[in-house]
Structure 1
Amino acid sequence: MISDTKTRAYLAWAAICLIWGTTYLAIRIGVEDLPPLLFAGFRWFLAGPILFLILMKKGYRLPDRGDIKHSAVVGILLLGFGNGFVVFSEQWIPSGLAALLITTVPFWIVGIESFYVRGSNLNAKIIIGLIAGMSGVMLIFGSNIISVFDPHYIKGVAGLFVAVTCWSFGTIYSKYNSTKVHPLMSAAVQMTIAGTLMTLAGIIIGEYKSLSLTAESALAFFYLLIVGSLIGYGSYIYAIEHLPVSFVSTYAYINPVIAIFLGWLVLDEVINLELFLSASIILSGVYLVKKGSSEARMKLNRAEN
């Protein structure tokens, strides 16, 4: 029987798949009017203290110096560089293309983990699952893949390369350097530190001079603040605390499917046989990675015992 903690962790993973599939669109809308560092930074700058106050009211333990140190590293890697460069990149590239490039995250994560942790070896199911997931996403966005090499998108592609690299390192660091406080308290510290640094950087380089808030960008900001940050990022930190990172990282395969569905729902875009085939391939990849991760963990446990 799955424990309550595991159940909550899988629900948190499902929340990531759904919520972060919508944030690419919100980011794209926001950067039409708002400069990237202040747009991304102020979101986390507000979200961190809000979450911190909620947890304080519920009686959660405060982080000590060591907890703050580890949370700062994770926050800077995941939010400062990871999310920050996604926002930066979407100034030049479409949200769908950004979602496509972010699907390389699982390759980076399982690859880094295989070198970072002794005995954390890949197996055939994980590799086949990752390839299947990427193939499904490629099928969805196949008609746009040539855009990656368009000179107009070079800055965006380079920014996303930095984003996926930093996000992957941050995820592995977080997994194997856990704090003694509740994962959500750690997330609050991460948000606050990364948000403060990004906001200060935006002010220093003069981004405030180009602020132009519209109804659309304000809506995008508050959606990202409440849903993308407080719910989505909190769910991510909780999930990687309790589930294998190779499985949690498969959210990157689901996000583009959510983006396509929203395109149909909001913009009346067509859902066709190609989409259903792609979704089936992606979900099959998720299953294989989950299965392979479980087998690898069991093998490692037997070797240690």
Structure 2
Amino acid sequence: MTTTDRREGVLAAGAAAVTVVLWASAFVAIRHVGHEFSAGALSLGRLLVGSLLLGGFLFSRPRTWPAKRDWRLLIVCGLLWFGVYNVALNEAEQRLDAGTAAMLVNIGPLLIALLAGLLLGEGFPKQLVIGSIAAFGGVVLIGVSSSDGKAETWGVILCVAAAIAYAIGVVAQKPLLGRLPALEVTWIACTIGAISCLPFGPALVRETADARPSTIWWVVFLGAFPTALAFTTWAYALARTSAGKMGATTYLVPPLAIFLGWLLLDETPAGLAFLGGALCLTGVAISRYKPKRASMPSTTSEIPVTKPLSKS
């Protein structure tokens, strides 16, 4: 591996870590803001902030406009991952605590690995399969030890719908990142999601007028960090690894979301949740482990060198 490859690997891992932390914080922020903003209004507000910030960065430098063939995938990614995902998740967190929602949404990585193996030709590497099963087992353990011990059926259905939208969005995004910069893909998809949420505009105006300033700042936080920054760092990392491995990395989100929910919202997890979190960490480590290749033996040293016989 060259120095450039190692540097790219470190940067991609750092970008993935930023994404995981900010997405975990988003589950807690959504739960908090949901007391004053409805699901659709929160989605539109978050996406508008994200689109404006990303657009400011994007249009301050040279950019590549997508080809006609790219727009179909961009629309799929924008509508499903940024539009449907946000509305479904926000509505689910009106009914479920932040940790439980994070756990349920994280059936998404298994769907990503399945879709990427089938549609992107990534296959099903043994370590990815084993790691995903282990991490999913951790999610299940956390799920059965949720903070309130129960989950409303409609909230569970909405989380599953969000997970499906998330998985399809990631698989649609992956081919785009081979042709377009991560920032551009993220901005266009975010803007498409915001446009799809425009029917919630009147609700956003009404609820913003009634909301406390601190709550409004939480909406800005969701748009600036878990959306604009985290989706960009996700796209950067995804462009440098497989969709299956990046999906498996997000198994780190539920344990972090549970910790932040306990710290900030007083949603206390059961002891079994900590075991589940450890299993999630182990699964991610397995899925991302790269065994060292044995160096090839030198063949030249094994070939005896003979001198030509001199003629007598």
CA contact (8 A) 1:240 1:248 kept: yes
Shift of 1:240: 1.6
Partner of 1:24: 27
- Output the TM-score relative to the length of structure 1: 0.83
The one-letter code sitting in structure 1 at the alignment partner of 2:236 is Y
- Give the structure with higher Rg (CA): 2
SS of 1:233's equivalent in the other structure is helix
Shift of 1:216: 4.0
Greater shift, 284-293 or 16-25, is seen at 284-293
The one-letter code sitting in structure 1 at the alignment partner of 2:130 is I
- Post-superposition Cα deviations, 1:56-94, rounded to whole Å, max 9, x if no partner, equal 213333445444443222111111112221112111111
The one-letter code sitting in structure 1 at the alignment partner of 2:183 is L
Query: Within 1, Cα distance between the matches of 2:224 and 2:154?
Result: 29
Task: State whether structure 2 residue 185 is matched by structure 1 residue 186.
Answer: yes
Partner of 1:156: 155
Query: Within 1, Cα distance between the matches of 2:126 and 2:168?
Result: 23
The one-letter code sitting in structure 1 at the alignment partner of 2:288 is K
CA contact (8 A) 1:45 1:193 kept: no
The one-letter code sitting in structure 2 at the alignment partner of 1:195 is A
Partner of 1:132: 134
SS of 2:59's equivalent in the other structure is helix
- Cα 1:248–1:69, aligned 2, differ >3 Å: closer, same or farther? same
Partner of 1:113: 116
CA contact (8 A) 1:33 1:217 kept: yes
- Cα 1:224–1:267, aligned 2, differ >3 Å: closer, same or farther? closer
Query: Within 2, Cα distance between the matches of 1:156 and 1:271?
Result: 19
Percent identical residues: 22
- Cα 1:124–1:179, aligned 2, differ >3 Å: closer, same or farther? closer
- Cα 1:33–1:273, aligned 2, differ >3 Å: closer, same or farther? closer
Partner of 1:303: none
- Post-superposition Cα deviations, 1:271-293, rounded to whole Å, max 9, x if no partner, equal 99756544432222012212389
**Higher percent of residues as helix:** 1
Task: State whether structure 2 residue 65 is matched by structure 1 residue 41.
Answer: no
* RMSD value, Cα: 2.8
Query: Within 2, Cα distance between the matches of 1:271 and 1:249?
Result: 24
Partner of 2:53: 50
Shift of 1:178: 4.0
Q: How does 1:285-296 map to 2 (within 5 A)?
A: 285-291=283-289
The one-letter code sitting in structure 2 at the alignment partner of 1:260 is I
Query: Within 1, Cα distance between the matches of 2:261 and 2:49?
Result: 29
Partner of 2:195: 196
- Cα 1:85–1:270, aligned 2, differ >3 Å: closer, same or farther? closer
Q: 1:252 aligns with which of 246, 250, 271?
A: 250
- Post-superposition Cα deviations, 1:109-149, rounded to whole Å, max 9, x if no partner, equal 1112222234x32243222211211222333343239623x
Unpaired runs of 5+ in structure 1? 296-305
Shift of 1:158: 1.5
CA contact (8 A) 2:186 2:231 kept: yes
- Output the TM-score relative to the length of structure 2: 0.81
CA contact (8 A) 2:20 2:252 kept: yes
CA contact (8 A) 1:42 1:196 kept: no
CA contact (8 A) 2:109 2:250 kept: yes
Unpaired runs of 5+ in structure 2? 294-312
Q: 1:61 aligns with which of 59, 64, 71?
A: 64
Shift of 1:42: 2.2
Query: Within 1, Cα distance between the matches of 2:236 and 2:37?
Result: 30
